[in-house]
Structure 1
Amino acid sequence: MIGLETIITFGGYLLFLIGVGVYFYGKTSSSEDYLIGGRGVGSWVTALSAQASDMSGWLLMGLPGAVYLSGFGQIWVVIGLTLGTYLNWKFIAPKLRVETEREETLTLPTFLERKLKDDKGTIRKILALGTLFFFTIYSSSGLVAAGKLFESILGIDYKVAVIIGAITIVAYTFMGGYLASCWTDFFQGALMFLAIIAVPLAAYYKIGDLETVRQGIELKGISLNIFNQNGESIGILGIISSLAWGLGYFGQPHILVRFMSINDVKELKKSRRIAMIWVIISLIGAISIGLLGTSLFKNLGELGGDAEKIFIYMIKELFNPWVAGVLLAAILSAIMSTIDSQLLVSSTTLTEDFYKYIKKDVSDKEIMWIGRGCVAIIALLALLFALNQNAKVLSLVAYAWGGFGTMFGPAIISVLYLKNVNSKSILSGILVGIFVFLIWKILGLDVYMYELLPGFFSNMLTIYIVEKVFLKNLAKV
């Protein structure tokens, strides 16, 4: 159980987040404001909110826990994510910002529908349904992380802890919409950055020297060899599979929407530089936490049997209660900054991709309130998934991340970079990619290769074959 000082500091942070939601409730006057911030967000907010919503509880809980258990072999995932982040900002962000405004669209499914002139709306419907499915899983991963955090801080039942986390996140997202989500993510991204630097430095100061760290790692039995994981050689398939995490960036709606909302496409270059500095330092910090933790906690039992709580236990061990409250709030920041974005994109999908097509004559005010209702509905569904205490943050994130990367990534790349690509090619690619992704996981082949990789490339290959072979031959007939 953590002291009263920590609880007060932590509680104050929760109230601050809700206060941001209340503030932007009065600033939100249209559906475009609520769903995408009126395309008027600045470079710093765009950069930090994009990366905060990207990394989530995975950065401060999932990755350090994985390093603590299996060693330096996790570096390949980090390399993949770093490369994916850069390529996404460099090649997708500018074109997507320009094209979505040109098509006057607020969601990726509707953008692809209009860009491809898919009059039947088949692509929009499939992608919208997929968005809701994977975001429900993704949001539940954040609530699992929130439950573990509140359970550790307040000493309360896990299920009660999950409910408290859900209520807090829904409160400010429900009221303030996209602007509240962006600005809270901005503050949360800054706080996460502070924590990911402060905790490893404090840990190293307490441990004393690198030799003690090395001994702790050796005693724990994990390897510093980047080609070794859990005592076994990773192999070329394992390396490729880990690097494949970077492919997921091209299809994450909660990240891509940040590109769509920036006030000027010229600001994206500045945002990219800020984002890359944040990502590189944060990922190094997360790995350091996992490695340094081996010297502070010799066995898993000292972490309550859950490696994903290592950051929480390190904060308890290293800092006074007041500072601990601030740093624990950073973990909550990582969790909330992703869930609020996911809830909002899900809400946008339900309103823009479904409701507007069912009810043609709809007012701006009605759209805003339907959007708020959708936030609550998706949060409730995610909450039901998250009540399973045995769920692991990293595995839930991996599945949802892979699903989005497979479903959206090849379609977005093709539409932005191929001239006159046909809707039939994109639709065929999406269907084949999702089928391969799901079957790969169901058959248990993910133990050999991350399901994102075969899903993504089967999608891309199908688009190419249908576009260059079938449609080309059909045109000759």
Structure 2
Amino acid sequence: MDVSVRTADIITILLYLLGLMGVGIYFSKRNKTTEDYFLGSRSFSGWVLGLSMLGTIVSSATFLALPAAAYILDWRQLTISLAVPFVTVLAVLIFIPFFRRGKLVSAFEYLGERYGKVPRIYGTVSFIILQLIRMAQILFLVSLVIQFLTGAPISIVIIGTGIFIGIYTILGGFEAVIWTDVVQAIILIVGGILCCVWVVMDLPGGLEQIFEVGSANNKFSLGEMDFDLGRRTFYTVAILGVINWLGIYAGDQNMVQRYASAKSTREAKKATIVYSAIAVPMWIMFFFIGTALFVYYQEFPNTLINSLEADQILPYFILSEIPPVITGIVISAVIAAAMSTMDSGINSISTVTVIDLMKPWLSKGKSDRFYLKSAHIIACTVTVLVISGAVVFSIMEKESMNDISLMVASIFGGCLMALFMMGFFTKRIDGFSATVALGVAVALNIYLGLGALGVLPDSITIPIHSYWVGAMVNGTFMIVAYAISMFRKNNFNDLSGLTVWTMKKINKNE
């Protein structure tokens, strides 16, 4: 591949990486307790946490896979983001007060208080599985860029990159994660803008040419407006978006950990608004980059493009068309996008494993230092699992990693969204109803998931697109749980503060 490695770019990237490692080492000296390691002593402002949320959610799947999706298809996957403003309002008014109410550390502590042990364990394990798969995807994507730059085998790049991210995350804890996320979010924004500007400037017709050629090829379409369950129509993707974002804002440990780490409820709400206000325009920008690249390679045909995977097209453009130093900044942005998501994921899995899977079951005599050491060991284990998963993704056949990401969210996301929504908005569902409904929903999830992945014969599968799996599983949980609650006497402990109907007002400055 005719892309040159330039000394200025290497220096730019190395300086960035050394800076990150320095942050990890600096904050490692401040982690004396699990409260420090998991929440940074609950001391962060809204602006800092908002940028950290951006760095965590907007990953290399955004930087590389969204342009790839727009390049090979259209903008229909942007439809997922249309739910964000609506869900942000719910987060500010309802979700954040819930999680700030009891100074919780884990999202799944709420499930334990609301339903009991089984839903809490289910929620924790589902989150861990989903995060491991997501981080493996992201590590694979960023490794593609580094492979282009170095020419090293993809497996070696994956292992080296994964170890580097693991080291500074394990050393620095949550405070290192937050501050590196802030830096990475800023670099991510700058890198995206530079890419966008460069491809527009290189086209003789500029923006007008992009809109003209893109429209002629239907590249700005949000998908067909019908309810075909077997295809990625507008409504299919929109429903997936509602379920996805409700699950993220209400039950994703990465978000809940940031709600909990704010120095007040007001700052937690500010963080969510800051994140949402920046994220949606960013997603639009990255879809636009994909369409612009499609027009670019129509104008300047390149036979090599046809041999690349969709996720490799933007890295190729960066390395072959953008000048030195600027290339280094853009590549640093791609690396930043991956690191900010992975460091958050590693820390959040350590958190929920200790809080939800260890502390409730181990003897009360265990010291805080024991759990702090356990968190370090868990983070090391997670790093190894993520590296292994990324190697698997490197040998898989795929359309684009964004499509894979959406399939994973639908198939492996389970009914977490429904668990939280029914907990928040109903008083009828008790632990027994939720546990039985979970069993039914999980069985359906396994059946639909195996069918969507092509494991089961067509003769015994339901012909739906994989994006519908999450909707059907969450809907089934809601129906079954509510139906059971109608035919039995509910067995509740005190629901004070656990539903919108029993929530007490809290001081917004607490």
Q: TM-score, normalised by structure 2?
A: 0.83
Aligned to 1:440: 448
Aligned to 2:497: none
Q: Identical aligned pairs, as a percentage? A: 20
Alpha-carbon contact 1:406-1:459 (below 8 Å) kept? no
CA 1:407 to 1:449, structure 2 compared with 1: closer, same or farther past 3 Å?
closer
Match runs of 1:131-170 below 5 Å? 131-170=127-166
For residues 306-340 of structure 1, give each alpha carbon's deviation from its aligned partner in whole angstroms, at most 9, with x where no partner exists: 11123323323443211211111111111111111
CA 1:134 to 1:53, structure 2 compared with 1: closer, same or farther past 3 Å?
same
**How far off is 1:446 after superposition?**
5.0
Code of the residue aligned with 1:274 in structure 2: it is V
Alpha-carbon contact 2:100-2:259 (below 8 Å) kept? no
**How far off is 1:395 after superposition?**
4.2
CA 1:317 to 1:212, structure 2 compared with 1: closer, same or farther past 3 Å?
farther
Code of the residue aligned with 2:234 in structure 1: it is I
**How far off is 1:135 after superposition?**
2.0
Equivalent of 1:471 in 469, 488, 492: 488
Unaligned runs of 5+ in 2: 453-462, 493-510
Alpha-carbon contact 2:99-2:107 (below 8 Å) kept? no
Q: Distance in 1 between matches of 2:369 and 2:437?
A: 37
Q: Distance in 2 between matches of 1:310 and 1:85?
A: 33
Equivalent of 1:240 in 207, 232, 235: 235
SS of equivalent to 1:258? helix
Code of the residue aligned with 1:111 in structure 2: it is Y
CA 1:144 to 1:450, structure 2 compared with 1: closer, same or farther past 3 Å?
farther
Aligned to 1:387: 391
Aligned to 1:333: 336
Code of the residue aligned with 2:484 in structure 1: it is V
Equivalent of 1:409 in 398, 412, 417: 417
Aligned to 1:227: 223
Range with bigger deviation, 455-464 or 371-380? 455-464
Equivalent of 2:100 in 90, 98, 101: 98
Equivalent of 1:212 in 205, 209, 216: 209
Equivalent of 1:203 in 188, 199, 206: 199
Q: Distance in 1 between matches of 2:370 and 2:36?
A: 13
CA 1:349 to 1:226, structure 2 compared with 1: closer, same or farther past 3 Å?
closer
Alpha-carbon contact 2:441-2:476 (below 8 Å) kept? yes
CA 1:404 to 1:37, structure 2 compared with 1: closer, same or farther past 3 Å?
farther
CA 1:71 to 1:3, structure 2 compared with 1: closer, same or farther past 3 Å?
same
CA 1:196 to 1:407, structure 2 compared with 1: closer, same or farther past 3 Å?
same
CA 1:99 to 1:459, structure 2 compared with 1: closer, same or farther past 3 Å?
farther
Q: Distance in 2 between matches of 1:349 and 1:448?
A: 28
CA 1:168 to 1:300, structure 2 compared with 1: closer, same or farther past 3 Å?
farther
Alpha-carbon contact 2:69-2:75 (below 8 Å) kept? no
**How far off is 1:159 after superposition?**
0.3
**How far off is 1:8 after superposition?**
1.4
Q: Distance in 2 between matches of 1:309 and 1:123?
A: 40
Count of matched residue positions in the alignment of Structure 1 and Structure 2:
462
Code of the residue aligned with 1:453 in structure 2: it is A
**How far off is 1:273 after superposition?**
2.8
The structure richer in helix per residue is 1
Q: Distance in 2 between matches of 1:227 and 1:18?
A: 43
Equivalent of 2:177 in 178, 181, 196: 181
For residues 234-260 of structure 1, give each alpha carbon's deviation from its aligned partner in whole angstroms, at most 9, with x where no partner exists: 656522221122322333222232222
CA 1:150 to 1:297, structure 2 compared with 1: closer, same or farther past 3 Å?
same
Q: Distance in 2 between matches of 1:339 and 1:245?
A: 22
Q: Distance in 2 between matches of 1:437 and 1:23?
A: 44
Code of the residue aligned with 1:443 in structure 2: it is G
Q: Distance in 2 between matches of 1:310 and 1:84?
A: 33
Range with bigger deviation, 401-410 or 199-208? 401-410
Match runs of 1:240-389 below 5 Å? 240-243=235-238, 244-251=240-247, 252-298=252-298, 301-302=304-305, 304-356=307-359, 357-388=361-392, 389=394
Match runs of 1:22-41 below 5 Å? 22-41=25-44
Range with bigger deviation, 64-73 or 418-427? 418-427
CA 1:402 to 1:89, structure 2 compared with 1: closer, same or farther past 3 Å?
same
Q: Distance in 2 between matches of 1:318 and 1:123?
A: 51
**How far off is 1:428 after superposition?**
3.1
CA 1:61 to 1:96, structure 2 compared with 1: closer, same or farther past 3 Å?
farther
Equivalent of 2:5 in 2, 6, 27: 2
Q: What RMSD, in angstroms, separates the aligned Cα atoms of the two structures?
A: 2.6
**How far off is 1:403 after superposition?**
5.4
**How far off is 1:197 after superposition?**
2.2
Alpha-carbon contact 2:349-2:379 (below 8 Å) kept? yes
Q: Distance in 1 between matches of 2:270 and 2:7?
A: 41
Alpha-carbon contact 2:96-2:265 (below 8 Å) kept? yes
Q: Distance in 2 between matches of 1:429 and 1:372?
A: 35
Unaligned runs of 5+ in 1: none
